Structure 1
C-alpha cells in the first residue's frame, strides 16, 4: 500500500517525514506500506510565540491564509468545555465565521492542489494525514466520491489514517464552507479508516467528529493517551504497527474482492485501546 502523507498546519514534507518516521519505518520494515510526502502550496510564518515549535523552516499550509485564517474556528475547539458534544462545538465555531465570502475559492484551490498531487503519484492508493492534513485527507476522500458520481473519475484512495483530525468540509450556498457532521450529513466517508488521537488532545472533539462521519463497520480507533501529536514513542509505535498489520491486508483483500465482483461486505475488525494511564 502506498500512502500520500499530508502534514499538519505549519508543517512541511521534510518535517512530517521526521514526525511520522518511527511508524513509517516500522511499517516499511514489515513490508506493509511505502510513503510519499507532500506539503501545502502556501508558505507561512508560524504564529507569534510559536516560532521554534513547528520545526525547520520553510513551513507550509494547504490553505491560503493571506486574507485571514479560513478555519480559525477549528482552533477554538480547544477552549470548548468537554460537556459539549463534538458536533455542537464545531457548529458553535462555524457561526463565528459567517459572512466571510472567500471561503469557497480558498478551499477549492486547496482541493485542486491535493488532487493534482494525487495525479502526479499514480501508485498512491491510501492517505495518512495529521491535524490539518487529516482534515484535507478526509475532504479528499469525500471529493473523490463526489467526482466519481459527477464525472466518472476513478476513485484512488481505498484506506485513510487520520491522526488528530477534524471532519471533512463541503461547499454550501454561494460562499460558505462547512464541516460535514454526523447529525446533519450522516456517514460521508465509506472507505476503511483508522483514527489515531490522544485523550489529552485539546482538539479531541474534532477527531471524534471525524470518526462519527466514517462508516462504523469499516473504522477503527486508537487512543495513544497523549496530546495533539504524532506518536513516536516505542510502545505506541509497536501497538500501531501491530494493528495496521491486521488492517492493511484486510483492506487490500477487500479491494481485490471488489475488483473481481466478490466483495462480501464483512465487518472490518475494529481495534480499540483503553485510554492510556500516563
Structure 2
C-alpha cells in the first residue's frame, strides 16, 4: 500500500514524517510505503515550528485564492501522475485543504477518471471556503466568522511565546464561537450540493482553534464512508499511546476500505 503525505504550511515532508512517527510506529509490521513530499513554495515557519525543527520550510501555495489552490491541485495531480498511484493520502492542516480541494475539483471536472487517491486521512485541517463557494456550496456567515477568528487564534496559541510560557496548556480552542454547538450543528453550517465519496478519516481536537474547520470538512464527505475522531487536544498530531493507537487503527480501516 502506498500513502501520499501532505504536510502543513510552514513545515516540510521531513517534519511531517517526524510529527506522525508515533502512530506510524504502530504500523511498522504492515506493508505500507509513506511518501512525504515537500510543497513547491519556500515558506516562513509555521507558528512555533522553528522551536523544534530547522529549515527549510515549505507551503503548497502563498495565497489562499481559488486560483492559487487550483494551481496547487494541478501541481499535485502532476506529482501523482509521475510518482503514483497512491492508495491513500495522509494530510495535516494546509495539506488537508490541498487534498480536499483536489478531490472536489476531480468530482466536479473529471468524474470519469479515477480519483487522485482512494482514501483520505485528514488531521487538523479543513476545506478551502473559497473553493467551496466556487463549486456551489453555501457557506454560512457563522462559518466564515469562525474561520477568520480561528486563524488568528491559531497563530497566537501555536506561537513560540505560548509554547514557551504555557506548554500544552496553550491550546484553548475557540470557545467563544464554538461553545455549545454539536458536531452535527457545525456540519449544517455548510450546505453541500455534493460530497467527497471516497472513504475518509477525520481527526481533530476540541482544543484546536481550527476544530470547527475539521468538523466542517467531515460534513462535506459521505457520512456512510467517513469516520471521525476527536483527540481532545490542539492543532497537532498527538503522540500519546492511547491516541496514537486510535489513529493507527483508523488509518488501517481506511486502507482496508480501499481494497474492499
Answer whether TM exceeds 0.5 for this pair.
Answer: yes
Give the SS at the match of 1:108: helix
Structure 2 residue 27 is the aligned partner of structure 1 residue 27: yes
- 2:11 aligned residue: 11
Give the direction of change, closer, same or farther, for the CA distance of 1:178–1:111 in structure 2 (3 Å limit): farther
Superposed CA offset, 1:65-124 (max 9, x none): 4xxxx3xxxxxxxxxxxxxxxxxxxxxxxxxxxxxxxx2332222111111111122231
Flag structure 1 segments of 5+ consecutive residues without an equivalent.
71-102, 254-278
Flag structure 2 segments of 5+ consecutive residues without an equivalent.
140-187
Shift in Å, 1:236:
1.2
- 1:37 aligned residue: 36
Superposed CA offset, 1:194-225 (max 9, x none): 01111111110100100111100100011111
Greater mean deviation of Cα atoms: 113-122 or 128-137: 113-122
Q: Which of 197, 211, 225 is matched with 2:204 structurally?
A: 197
Give the direction of change, closer, same or farther, for the CA distance of 1:127–1:172 in structure 2 (3 Å limit): closer
Mapped partners of 1:172, 1:21: distance in 2: 32
Shift in Å, 1:230:
1.0
Give the direction of change, closer, same or farther, for the CA distance of 1:17–1:3 in structure 2 (3 Å limit): same
- 1:57 aligned residue: 55
Say which one has the larger Rg: 1
Give the direction of change, closer, same or farther, for the CA distance of 1:166–1:180 in structure 2 (3 Å limit): farther
Matches within 5 A, 1:116-265: 116-149=78-111, 152-168=112-128, 171=131, 181=139, 183-253=190-260
TM-score by length of 1: 0.68
TM-score by length of 2: 0.72
Give the SS at the match of 1:5: strand
Runs ≥4 in structure 1, deviation > 4 angstroms?
168-173, 176-182
